[in-house]
Structure 1
Amino acid sequence: MGRAPASAMIPGLALLWAAVLGGAAPSPPRLRLSFQELQARHGLRTFRLERTCCYEALLVDEERGRLFVGAENHVVSLNLDNISKKSKKLTWTAHVDWREECNWAGKDIATECMNFVKLLHMYNRTHLLACGTGAFHPTCAFVEVGPGLEEPQPRLLLRSLEDGKGKSPYAPEHQAASVLVGEELYSGVAADLMGRDFTIFRSLGRRPSLRTEPHDSRWLNEPKFVKVFWIPESENPEDDKIYFFFRESAVEAAPALGRLSVSRVGQICRNDMGGQRSLVNRWTTFLKARLVCSVPGVEGDTHFDQLRDVFLLPQRDHRSPLLYAVFTTASGVLQGSAVCVYSMNDVRRAFLGPFAHKEGPTHQWVPYQGRVPYPRPGMCPSKTFGTFSSTKDFPDDVIQFARNHPLMYNSVLPVGGRPLFLQVDAGYTFTQIAVDRVAAADGHYDVLFIGTDTGTVLKVISVPKGGRPSAEGLLLEELHVFEDSAAITSMQISSKRHQLYLASRSAVAQIALHRCAALGRACAECCLARDPYCAWDGAACTRFQPSAKRRFRRQDVRNGDPSALCSGDASRSALLERKVLGVEGGSAFLECEPRSLQARVEWTFQRAGEVARTQVPAEDRAERTAQGLLLRRLRRGDSGVYHCAAVEQGFSQPLRRLSLLVLSADKAEQLARAEEAVPAPPGPKLWYRDFLQLVEPGGGGGASSLRMCRPPPPQRPPLPEPRRKARNRRTHSPESRADRGPRSVAQW
């Protein structure tokens, strides 16, 4: 249907690799920051409660400046500016009888028979709606949080406690998704204890409660609900629809393919009242279509079928937001994740297309070619598209058709026809996504923050590629926000405060959306970073302010080309020279590590007294590492000046200038003997002591610091016995070691 699920027909792993990556490795980030670096230098803040886990529900309240968190037995109120300060918690445990009943049913009373708060919504200006598992007795209640900017202690209204069935899941490991529109809650959840009766449910409010048809695989087939959004259809509120995003087992898959997981988008009308004689208290406007996120291939498409999260990015037209979704592969052999972007126009077009119909002797799924009754199933009763004022007025043939044909034949394809960004065999999979639209000097850019199952966040920018609407995702940063590498289970963004909030099983974290100072100390580094939050102001890489004067701001997000913007920058001036000492036959390490992991390092060599430079040849004696250049089996001809440059986006930036002096073995031994025999006189040091003092990388040697690598000492004839003893006494005595001072030798 639409595009065939060809992932199941791909013959082997080699083809999958070729289709997805073309043989390339996973994209490295330009900048990778560890948990310790983020905490020490970049303002990472964390919050956790003792003996509490599972911080799953996050709710940002910009007006109060609070972050509300739902966790095991708690609802917590945190400060949006600093979650580590001014926290206030509400303890909400399950009833004792329910916990005992849960334990009698064979559940672990210490880990499962708790109240895991799964749902938090802002109900009005003074109250939250909260729902939890209640030790396998789903429960909902209102939490009073107070008006205005006050910070009162959250208070549970005990008189508001009510049954949470159809709102919150029973088990802590089960997922649920919901949205609160006005006073009505729309939920996608398992409505029974065993987790088999999945439903899309409307509760609260004044309209009657509705749900999907139970135990009908054509409607829902073992779904896992991900997100729910309310999206206006027109200027008439009667046309408003609720969209559900979930994954399920495909009923349309051929039996030979076995269980095939697919991703879906479903719709219902807000003003649906159910049927009059059929589908009573059931949805009459429910339809669903497949979401496709795949990479086209010669022998079939490679599908990312497991929908994990969806983020709705508002546009100027509130009826046409962009939908950013993260997917993973269903394959147990290859680990892959992708981000696909969808337009609401394409979603609506799929629901206006042909219905899927199963017919013929082989029961194939085909587009329905018969007469579609009026009003068209899926249309909301309103004056915009018809004369019906309620779904209870729909003719019986409309209701019957809706019951039997909830699935659309056409799939929803992503913008550009392929993923915006993907990673395969990267050691992690995507779990969450949040998106921020940022104003830069050369336009507006969408910045993606992608949570993973290893406690990291990927910062990716969407950059136009060729003609619109094609774009590509560039990986800017990889941030390790959870020290225990716990999977990120929830994510919220505050564009107003430029902060990102993340939750895992173990803690809540807060990190800024940008780290301009970490991008580099030179104009070229700042420009090459292509971060729309940052620009070079003439002295440093700082936060870009769209309203500030443009004279001193240098930023090129689209191309990342510093050649014109940074041509007169001081960073292009001559580099201070660092000296390195080597011994003939030994090894020398020339340290040079670019800030960017996406840069390619080039080494050139300049002999003493010569102007021309030559490329350092790629041979066994010259081994390039991520930290620098290792020269083995040194020769006297290796002496000279080595230039290290980082090449990125076609731009070459000089990084280090290292002067290597290779000494003969005899000369090195003479210096060592002289150093041992002659005590350091007062006043200026002897010239060779500068060479023999070995300084670690980044030590206090400054621009003229030296490093030396010696080969093993040459084998010499044994000394006569009396001379050897005298030398041993001189060499190994504590007094002689104290006179000589500290020494160290770096050997390879």
Structure 2
Amino acid sequence: MQGLYLSILLDLHLTFCMMTTTTPSLGLKGIPRRILNGDTTHKVPYQTHQNHTVFFRPETKDVLYLGGTNLVLKIDVDTNDVEGPCENVIMVIQEFQDSLFVCGTNGQKPQCWKLVHNQSTEIVESYEGTGISPYVYTQNSLSLTVEGDLYAAAPLEHDGSYLQFRRKAGGRTNVWMYEKWVLEPTFVAASWVKRNQDPENEKIYIFFREKNSDNSPEADPWITRVARVCKVDEGGSKRFFQNTWTSFLKARLVCGFPKESLYFNHLRDVYVLHAEDWRDTRVYALFTSSWNATAVCVYSIADIDKLFETSAFKGYEGDIPDPRPGTCVTNSRGLPYTTLNVVKDHSEMSEWIHSSIHPLAPLYVSNYNYTKVVVDQVQAADEHMYNILLLATDTGTIHKCLELDSELFIISETQLSNRSAIQSMILASRKKKLIVGFAEDMFSLDLQPCQKYNSSCAECVLSRDPYCAWTQNGCTSTVVMSDSSASFHRGGIQNIKEQQTSVCTAALEGSQSRRESTPASLDSETVYVMLGVSFYMSCQIDSYHATYTWVHQGHSSSPCQQLGPRCLHLITAMEHGSYGNYKCMSKEQDHTRLVTEYNLTKQPILLASLPSSTLKTYNRCGKRNNAAALVSHVEWVAMSVAFMAIFARL
């Protein structure tokens, strides 16, 4: 009977643990290898709940500006010291004309302010903000500064309509879009791609989705687009297209499986990873689908530009005029009518933009609901450059992913908050930190959590984390930080591409070898157990890419029974053959490791008569508990639990 009570008590306690633990399942593809806690983050709470936040970080400064409801905060990236607040509902923060340019909804009367940060925040000038900031924070908007010019997309009407991308202020002429070029757009991102050797041909790329003009039932309701305009575009002549883009072209951006005609059409976020040679600049686009999946597709700016320069114009059947519509010219006001008429009436390209980097399928498809993407580059100890994708989920977690050819390896998952969704995210690449904004607080996430892989060389190598390598000092960062720069740390053991721990064997000697052979986390225990009672053992899951097995007496083995972050082995009723040595073993790639060891010994006398100090077992969530105390309470706990469980199952 006592065994029955223990079994029922175990059932309910395991159910409780399962309800309070959210972890991936072992053996599935596309899951994080490690689940990291929040001790690699620094939290900055807000004084009031924020319905909307926006980040801005100047390229040459280690400061971050955060705009929210009724505040502007200046945050030191290193110390997280905060200055502020400033009263307004902030939607736009940009560096403009050597000052901080801030725009907000201002009680549905958009307004902009030029701020100077000295000992205190000082407003130098104020401007009318229509077309830069939306009227309410839920309306779509974006902004970008390019060489002293401010580009913005925001509604021109209170109801959120008449939304277009414009050059709104600066040294060049203000220009805007022809109203028939887009249909109910939602702008997602805009980026200026520099051409150091050819600045006159530099372009601004706009990524957005718009309503499909095809209303047939089989047509997708939304289409993802990329458009481009020339930086030198000053609009047309006084007679035609004055103050209107003369170089605007758009094309459909396709992400999916072309052979199956299966596409992700809802663009969520875009990150442009700039390169020294503009042709190598990459666009990482995050899409969702109608079947609740997300995908990441990667495009080359060179491919995007090539399509704009070679594709036919949709619906246009005449000869292509010279200069070709969309060409960057230093005097756009002198463009002929034939060129401008094609831009006006046929700005869409006939061909679609596919990914030439991953032409057959997206880089990554997942059932996780990702909402934002940021990409960092890091030089590893093997002297190769690797791209790291930082993907935000709708449950407040960050997935840190390694891009390897056509594979995306999820290095880790970090839970930042489970109270609200991530509102904003920005990368401080030189400092190797990710800044994440929620409604309640802001987090600074360290991208180099090498101490998490410090138990052995094998664990450091298996992490596949380019930021970390095994050295004489353990698992350490490959990026050396200083006050003014970040430098690459040569040396150290890694095996990013193959993930083989055999690289440790030849390299480790002396004390490092002994450290490798005896993991610091080894947990061995002798436990006294009576015949006939239920008993279970558990060990911690460190890697969700490993295979865990329980080995009894060195020969018979049982698979892991996963419960959250633990692997269990349940013995429903102790028999004579149940006693002996049990080892929880993990195997990942070429590395096998002893995680936990139990020695079960038969107890011939009453359990309660033994000293409690000799009776140790593990509670059902992995923390040690006193077995005698557990059994002594069975008389008054298990009876009520048993009856409740029995009635619940009827």
Asked if these proteins are the same fold (TM beyond 0.5), I'd say: yes
State the match for 2:312 in structure 1: 355
SS of 2:145 mapped into structure 1: strand
State the match for 1:20 in structure 2: none
State the match for 1:391 in structure 2: 332
Could you tell me how far 1:694 is from its partner in structure 2?
3.3
Could you tell me how far 1:137 is from its partner in structure 2?
1.2
For 2:633 and 2:115, the matched residues in 1 are separated by 77
Asked if residue 172 in structure 1 is aligned to residue 134 in structure 2, the reply is: no
For 1:318 and 1:340, the matched residues in 2 are separated by 19
Preserved CA contact (<8 Å) 1:229 1:244: yes
Residues 623 and 557 of structure 1, relative CA distance in 2, 3 Å threshold? closer
SS of 2:333 mapped into structure 1: helix
For 1:124 and 1:80, the matched residues in 2 are separated by 23
For 1:350 and 1:643, the matched residues in 2 are separated by 60
State the match for 1:224 in structure 2: 186
CA deviation string 1:611-639 (max 9, x = no partner): xx324246xxx955433211222221122
Preserved CA contact (<8 Å) 2:528 2:615: no
SS of 1:392 mapped into structure 2: helix
Residues 701 and 353 of structure 1, relative CA distance in 2, 3 Å threshold? closer
State the match for 1:456 in structure 2: 397
CA deviation string 1:130-157 (max 9, x = no partner): 11111111111211124xxxxx222122
SS of 2:280 mapped into structure 1: coil
Residues 712 and 409 of structure 1, relative CA distance in 2, 3 Å threshold? farther
Preserved CA contact (<8 Å) 2:278 2:302: no
Asked if residue 423 in structure 1 is aligned to residue 363 in structure 2, the reply is: no
Asked if residue 344 in structure 1 is aligned to residue 301 in structure 2, the reply is: yes
1:477 pairs with one of 395, 412, 423: 412
Could you tell me how far 1:556 is from its partner in structure 2?
1.3
Question: Residue 647 of structure 1 aligns to which amino acid in structure 2?
Answer: K
Task: Compare the two structures and name the one with the higher strand fraction.
Answer: 2
Preserved CA contact (<8 Å) 2:53 2:424: yes
1:235 pairs with one of 171, 183, 197: 197
For 1:695 and 1:234, the matched residues in 2 are separated by 67
**Structure number with bigger Rg:** 1
For 2:351 and 2:272, the matched residues in 1 are separated by 22
Asked if residue 203 in structure 1 is aligned to residue 168 in structure 2, the reply is: yes
1:272 pairs with one of 223, 228, 233: 233
Matches within 5 A, 1:485-564: 486-538=420-472, 540-545=474-479, 553-564=492-503
SS of 2:100 mapped into structure 1: strand
Preserved CA contact (<8 Å) 2:396 2:422: yes
Could you tell me how far 1:256 is from its partner in structure 2?
3.0
State the match for 1:325 in structure 2: 285
Question: Residue 46 of structure 1 aligns to which amino acid in structure 2?
Answer: V
For 1:699 and 1:278, the matched residues in 2 are separated by 73
Preserved CA contact (<8 Å) 2:175 2:234: yes
Matches within 5 A, 1:642-721: 642-663=582-603, 667-669=604-606, 672=608, 675=609, 689=611, 693-696=615-618
Preserved CA contact (<8 Å) 2:195 2:277: no
Residues 509 and 288 of structure 1, relative CA distance in 2, 3 Å threshold? same
State the match for 2:224 in structure 1: 263
Could you tell me how far 1:128 is from its partner in structure 2?
0.8
For 2:390 and 2:489, the matched residues in 1 are separated by 29
Question: Residue 555 of structure 2 aligns to which amino acid in structure 1?
Answer: T
For 2:627 and 2:621, the matched residues in 1 are separated by 10
1:141 pairs with one of 105, 113, 124: 113
For 1:270 and 1:706, the matched residues in 2 are separated by 72
Question: Residue 658 of structure 1 aligns to which amino acid in structure 2?
Answer: Y
Question: Residue 142 of structure 1 aligns to which amino acid in structure 2?
Answer: K
State the match for 2:244 in structure 1: 282
Preserved CA contact (<8 Å) 1:586 1:710: no
Could you tell me how far 1:474 is from its partner in structure 2?
0.9
1:446 pairs with one of 387, 399, 402: 387
Residues 689 and 473 of structure 1, relative CA distance in 2, 3 Å threshold? same
CA deviation string 1:533-564 (max 9, x = no partner): 1122245322224778866x221111211133
- TM-score when normalising by structure 2: 0.84
Could you tell me how far 1:696 is from its partner in structure 2?
4.2
State the match for 1:303 in structure 2: 263
For 1:211 and 1:696, the matched residues in 2 are separated by 68
State the match for 1:681 in structure 2: none
Preserved CA contact (<8 Å) 2:268 2:371: yes
For 1:82 and 1:421, the matched residues in 2 are separated by 35
Larger RCO of the pair (alpha carbons < 8 Å, separation 6+)? 2
Preserved CA contact (<8 Å) 2:548 2:567: no
State percent identity of aligned pairs.
Answer: 27
SS of 1:592 mapped into structure 2: strand
CA deviation string 1:187-232 (max 9, x = no partner): 2222211112121111212332211112x2xx11111111111113
For 2:362 and 2:427, the matched residues in 1 are separated by 23
| Residue correspondences, number | 593
SS of 1:352 mapped into structure 2: helix
SS of 1:275 mapped into structure 2: coil
For 2:129 and 2:280, the matched residues in 1 are separated by 33
Unaligned runs of 5+ residues in structure 1 are: 1-23, 94-115, 147-151, 359-367, 383-389, 465-470, 607-612, 676-687, 715-730, 733-745
For 2:567 and 2:402, the matched residues in 1 are separated by 27
Residues 640 and 130 of structure 1, relative CA distance in 2, 3 Å threshold? same
Preserved CA contact (<8 Å) 2:386 2:403: yes
State the match for 1:49 in structure 2: 47
CA deviation string 1:263-321 (max 9, x = no partner): 11110112222222332221111001111121456xx2432222122112122314531
For 1:700 and 1:395, the matched residues in 2 are separated by 76
User: RMSD of the alignment, in Å?
Assistant: 3.2
